Homo-oligomer: A and B are copies of this chain.
Amino acid sequence: MEYSAINLQQKFALFDALWQPKVIAEMNDYQFKLAKIEGDFVWHEHPDTDETFFVVEGNLRIDFEDGTVHLGAGDLFVVPKGVRHKPYAESEVKMMLVEPRGVVNTGEEGGDLTADADVWI
């Protein structure tokens, strides 16, 4: 039989909502999630896990308390656990996150931008 690969662009075409990560695959207890973002997110941290950002389209800036990192298409960055960070995108960014199942986008911070952590697309 022919199995189906998961195409990132096809998955991105299925949703428009910003700051609402969608799960596209699982590997053991880790998940691959797609997100579209624009503007400022909230400062937050994930006390128990690193979090991987991989940019597919656009330019992402992640601010830290002691600096910043800029990611373009094809760039990857791992935010270490416990490090406060704030993603920012001047215009829309399409990105993939890799992190353990159940990680909430706003970490311990909560607030209006908190999304359901386990929505598949």
Which residues of A are interface residues toward B (Cβ below 8 A)?
1-9, 24-28, 30, 32, 49-52, 56, 64, 66-72, 74-78, 81, 98-100
Contacts and interface: CB of A to CB of B under 8 A. Distances in A.
A66 B1 contact: yes
B7 A28 contact: no
A52 B32 contact: yes
Nearest to A50: B27
B69 A3 contact: yes
Contact of A28 (B26, B27, B49): B49
B68 A2 contact: yes
Contact of A5 (B2, B24, B71): B71
The 5 closest A-B pairs by CB, nearest first: A1-B67, A5-B75, A3-B69, A27-B50, A5-B71
Given A27-B51, A28-B49, A8 B69 contact: no
Nearest to A25: B78
B76 A6 contact: yes
A108 to B, nearest CB: 18
